A and B are shown apart, each in its own frame.
Chain A
Amino acid sequence: MTPDSINGKKPQLFGVFARGEILNRLSLPSNDPAGLVITPLLARDKAIDADSVDLRLGTYFLLPRSLPEAYFCPDQNTATSLHVKIHVPLGRYLVIPAHQTVLGSTLEFIKLPYDASGEILTKSSVARTFIVVETAPWIHPEYRGCLTLEIANVSNTPVLLYPGRSIGQLILLHVARDYDPVAKIGSTYFGPIHPEAPPFDNPEDDLAKIGVRRTAVIRKGIIVKGGRFEVTEPGPKFHRADAALPSGEAQG
Chain B
Amino acid sequence: MQSAQDSLIHEATSLFRLVESIDIFVAEHENLFSYTEATQAFFLHIHDQAAVTRNSVSDIIEKLAQAPEHAAPRYRRELIIHKDRWRTLHTYIKPATDAHTLNLPSPLIQMATEDLRRIPGMEGTAVVVLLTPELMYYHNTPQSRPPSQLAFVEVPYSQGPSFFTNLTIYHELGHYVYDSLADSYNQSTAFTALVAAMSRAFDDMFDESLKTPSTRTWAKRVLDAWTKEVFCDLFALRHLGPAFSFALIDMLSLIGLMEEETEVKFDAEHPATALRLREQLTRLRDDGWWAEVQDLPSEHVSLIARVAGKSESDYFFEFAEKRLPAFTEAFLTIVPFIHALVSDVTPHCKSAAEDFSRRRLEIEDCFLHGVVPSKLLAEGEASSPTQVSMINAAYCFYLTLLPKLMDKLEGQESYNLIHRKKWIEKLEAWTMKGIEDHQLLTATAATQ
Binding site for B on A (CB under 8 A): 26, 29-31, 37, 39-44, 85-90, 92, 109, 111, 144-146, 184-187, 190-191, 193-194
CA A44 – CA B411 in complex, angstroms? 37
The verdict on A191 contacting B444 (CB below 8 Å), with A44-B378, A184-B409, A186-B410 known, is no
B34 partner residues in chain A, CB cutoff 8 A: 86-89, 92
Residue numbers in A under 8 Å from B371 (CB-CB)? 30, 37, 109, 111, 144
Taking chain B's interface residues, is the majority helix, strand, or loop, or is none over half, making it mixed?
A: helix
Of the candidate stretches B132-140, B144-152, B433-441, the one touching chain A is B433-441
- Contact status A185-B409, CB under 8 Å: yes
Show 18 A/B contacts (Cβ-Cβ < 8 Å), sorted by A: A29-B365, A31-B369, A37-B371, A37-B372, A37-B375, A39-B375, A40-B440, A87-B33, A87-B34, A87-B100, A109-B372, A111-B369, A111-B371, A185-B410, A186-B410, A187-B410, A190-B426, A193-B430
Specify which chain A residues have a CB less than 8 angstroms from the CB of B408 in the assembled complex: 184-185
A29 CA to B362 CA in the complex, in Å? Answer: 9
Q: Is the CB of B377 within 8 A of A190?
A: no
Q: Give me the interface of B with A, judged by CB distance under 8 Å.
A: 33-34, 100-102, 106, 362, 365-366, 368-372, 374-375, 377-378, 408-412, 426, 429-430, 432-433, 437, 440-441, 444
A187–B375 touching, CB < 8 Å: no
Contact in complex: B410, A39 (CB < 8 Å): no
Q: Which of B33, B410, B441 has the most CB of A within 10 A?
A: B410
Task: Flag if A111 contacts B370 (CB, 8 Å).
Answer: yes
Closest to A190 in B: B370
CA distance A39 to B437 in the complex (A): 8
Given contacts A109-B433, A111-B370, contact A40 B409 (CB under 8 A): no
Across chains A and B, the number of contacting residue pairs, with CB separation under 8 Å, is: 89
From B101, B375, B426, B432, give the contact of A191 (CB < 8 A).
B426
Complex Cα spacing A193 to B378, Å: 18
Q: Which of A40, A90, A194 interacts with B441 by CB under 8 Å?
A: A40
CA distance A185 to B405 in the complex (A): 10
For A40, the chain B residues whose CB sits under 8 A away are 374, 377-378, 437, 440-441, 444
Which residue in A26, A37, A42, A86 is a CB contact (below 8 Å) of B102?
A: A86
Quick check: A193 and B377 within 8 Å, CB to CB? Answer: no
**Shortest 9 CB-CB distances between A and B: which pairs?**
A187-B409, A40-B437, A109-B372, A193-B429, A30-B371, A191-B370, A184-B410, A39-B375, A87-B101
**Which residues from chain B contact A26 at a C-beta distance below 8 Å?**
378
Are B102 and A30 in contact, with the CB atoms below 8 A? no
A-B contacts besides A39-B377, A86-B33, A87-B102, 19 pairs, CB < 8 Å = A26-B378, A30-B366, A30-B369, A31-B365, A39-B372, A39-B437, A40-B378, A40-B440, A42-B441, A88-B34, A89-B106, A144-B371, A185-B409, A186-B410, A187-B409, A187-B412, A190-B370, A191-B429, A193-B432
Closest CB-CB distance, A199 to chain B, in whole Å? 11
* Residue ID in chain B nearest A33 by CB atoms: B369
Instruction: Report the bound CA distance from A111 to B33 in whole Å.
Output: 31
Q: In whole Å, how far is A65's beta carbon from the nearest beta carbon of chain B?
A: 14
Residue of B nearest to A27 (CB): B379
> Smallest Cβ distance from B383 to chain A, in angstroms?
13
Task: Determine how close the nearest CB of chain B comes to the CB of A222; give it in whole angstroms.
Answer: 31
Query: Most A CB atoms within 10 A — which of B100, B432, B437?
Result: B437
Which B residue's beta carbon lies closest to that of A88? Answer: B34
**CB <8 Å contact, B409 and A42:** no
Chain B residues within 8 Å of A30, by CB: 365-366, 369, 371, 375
Note all chain B residues with C-beta closer than 8 A to A92: 34
The smallest beta-carbon distance between A237 and chain B, in angstroms, is 18
Residues in chain A near residue B430, CB distance under 8 A:
191, 193
